[in-house]
Amino acid sequence: MPSMLNDLEALVTCESPSGDHRAIAHSADVVSAIARRLTGEVPERVVLNGCTHLALRFGPCPRILLLGHHDTVWPLGSLATHPWSATGGIARGPGCFDMKAGIVQLLHAIAALADPSGISVLITGDEEVGSTTSRALIEDEARTCQVVLVLEPSADGGALKIGRKGAATYQVQVRGRAAHAGLEPEHGANAAIELARQVFTIIDLAAPSLGTTVTPTLLSGGTTANTVPDSAQLSVDVRALLAQEQLRVDRALAQLRPHLAGTALLLDRQSHRPPMEPAASARLFDRAQTLAGELGLPPLSGVTVGGASDGNLTAAVGTETLDGLGAVGGGAHADDEYVVISEIPQRTALLARLIEDLRRDRPSAEYKEQNNS
């Protein structure tokens, strides 16, 4: 436990916001040093568009992909207001729960194995911003493996994540025509009014009974208080349990048309992760439940969550995926982010035991066959 806490402190106190490539590179140095100490191997640095990802393979033919990320949503300087601490059985600090404790558990689980052959590791640097550079890397590696274990943090109460909504973000941009708001507003084409009308069309695309949410989020527009705005922008967050629902909303957004003369609409799909449906994790979750009992751990539960992860990507290429194997705690992305310290070695033991079990097991091809069909 002291070694694990020291490693977690080293990771948390090395701030790594997704948008700062220099900070991400420094964080990769810290992760690499821990990996080398624990496993004897140095991860390969994969730099894509300036963002540093880490890859590590044990043996020539990996069967199991261990997946995580070392970037966080916290900007540089967050340690000043959210300092690292480990007292009263609770660890705190920016990114401790999502998901630096998961990285610690991943690396210590490998170190606990007598033979780590057959394992591939990817620790990416841009998960929190949609895996814009690492997506192809993740998908290609997942296709070569038979199962993926994702070290994202657990859900409430330590539940594993057996399903995830698909997530997509869009920007709706309206172009209008500027004019003086007092002298001749009728000569303008008001982009803000057009965007306001579009908002009501957009929110009507939600289907709560099917688990589909369509949420306008960031909105901006205009230049000065006395000018008819010639541009306005809206970000839209779409979440869906079902792939067909995600496609329905995507097509509907692409068919938006302006109401006001002189305005035009542009749609940019900025990120997209398909749903991770429970079929992707069913067999793996059953195995984890059995192994937790054998280890004397409390019974595991599984839930479907609204947040997406890189597990969505690996499930979509047809590889069995179990998510939420990382830290137990809460407050992801929030001021009260924390990790339950006593759960760290227990989760590490479960991961190591699951790896050992899956290496002996012959994975079922049923999910991949269903997905490919």
132: Cα separation from own chain's centroid: 11
In the block, tokens 């009308």 appear at 197
Q: What does the alpha-carbon distance between residue 94 and residue 249 come to, in Å, rounded to a whole number?
A: 34
Please, are residues 195 and 265 in contact by the beta-carbon 8 Å criterion?
A: no
Paired with 267 in beta bridges are: 172
Please, are residues 271 and 167 in contact by the beta-carbon 8 Å criterion?
A: yes
Q: What does the alpha-carbon distance between residue 291 and residue 299 come to, in Å, rounded to a whole number?
A: 10
H or E element: which one contains 173? strand 166-175
Helix, strand or coil for residue 235? strand
68: Cα separation from own chain's centroid: 9
Please, are residues 281 and 320 in contact by the beta-carbon 8 Å criterion?
A: yes
253: Cα separation from own chain's centroid: 24
CA 145, 272, 312, 92 torsion: positive or negative? Answer: positive
Closest by alpha carbon to 20, among 72, 68, 69? 72
In the block, tokens 């979750």 appear at 285
Tokens of 117: 């052959």
Q: Which of 9, 15, 71, 245 is catalytic?
A: 71
Q: What does the alpha-carbon distance between residue 60 and residue 256 come to, in Å, rounded to a whole number?
A: 50
Instruction: For the chain, give the number of residues.
Output: 373
- What is the number of other CB atoms lying within 10 angstroms of the CB of residue 298? 11
User: What residues contact residue 343 under an 8 Å CB cut-off, 6+ apart?
Assistant: 158, 327, 328, 329
156: annotated active-site residue: no
Q: Which of 15, 98, 127, 337 is catalytic?
A: 127
71: annotated active-site residue: yes
Q: Which residues are catalytic?
A: 71, 127
